[in-house]
Amino acid sequence: MKSSRNYRKTSLRPLSRTSAASATRRFALFSLAGAIFLSAPLAEAGLFDKLKAKRRAKLKQAEVKAAPRKRIPRYRSYYHDAHKDAYINHELLDGYADDDTVERRVVIDIKAQRAYLIIQDLIAIDSAVSTARRGKYTPRGSYAITEKIKSGKVSTLYHVYMPNWMRLGHSAVGMHTGDLPGYPASAGCIRMPMSVAPVMFEHTRYGVEVDVVDSWDEEGLLVPYSRPDTIWLADVSAF
């Protein structure tokens, strides 16, 4: 028995060439978009790594430029002495060279700009010095020599060598070889002529008293000591 239903006949039509090409292009575009989407994170990661490396290189370069250059002090074979009037009693020094029991002391006269090594109440050394210039200060008072360095001592302020260094107490000030231009010129230390500082270094020891005074009247000497009067154009007691 035949069904009364009418079946609609359908037929599959083949795609035209235009439709096929369009579908191919769409597929290619989707494939390319997917590839780009998947590869984008990797590309971005590589780009960020390059930027970070470049920034680190710039920062390191800036640090190198900003870092202070280490100044290398130079040895000097000559120091200027405008006075050249030092008195050294070699007989007195040699007579007590090996005797550590005798009394020794050093007096620094700021006004006269002189240094004296006194042994057994007699002048063994009388030398010109250069103390603090205007705006700086050489501390007054009584100090013991707490450090002695023959060579190799370097100023942390001026990066220069200070031969025959003798520190006063626990201060940053000391006696050492230096230029003597004829007036107070140091940053606070007591500069001595290169002909005197090694002798002073040799004949003092740790613990020797150093008196830094505005003016000294030769108090305590066994025999009065006569020296030429020093003429100054200005009073340096305020330095």
Q: Which residues contact 115 (CB under 8 A, 6 or more apart)?
A: 106, 107, 108, 109, 125, 126, 127, 128, 129, 175, 190, 192, 196, 200
For the chain, the average pLDDT equals: 83
Angle at 53 between CA 45 and CA 62, to 5 degrees: 150
CA 132 to chain centre: 20
* pLDDT tens digits, one per residue of 169-222: 999 999 999 999 999 999 999 999 999 999 999 999 999 999 999 999 998 899
* pLDDT tens digits, one per residue of 17-43: 566 666 666 666 666 666 666 555 555
Grade residue 238 by pLDDT with cuts at 50, 70 and 90: very low
Whole-number pLDDT of residue 228: 47
pLDDT at 150 over 80: yes
- Residues 105/123, Cβ–Cβ less than 8 Å: no
Per the listing, tokens 């002189």 go with 114
Rounded-to-integer distance, Cα 223 and Cα 122, Å: 7
**Listed residue (60, 79, 110) closest to 194, CA to CA:** 79
**Listed residue (190, 217, 76, 78) closest to 127, CA to CA:** 190
Architecture of domain 87-213: Beta Barrel (2.40)
Mean pLDDT check: name the lowest of 47-51, 101-105, 177-181, 219-223: 47-51
Whole-number pLDDT of residue 204: 96
Comparing 52 with 133, which gets the higher pLDDT?
A: 133
pTM: 0.68
Whole-number pLDDT of residue 80: 96
Q: Where are the domains of the chain?
A: 18-67, 87-213
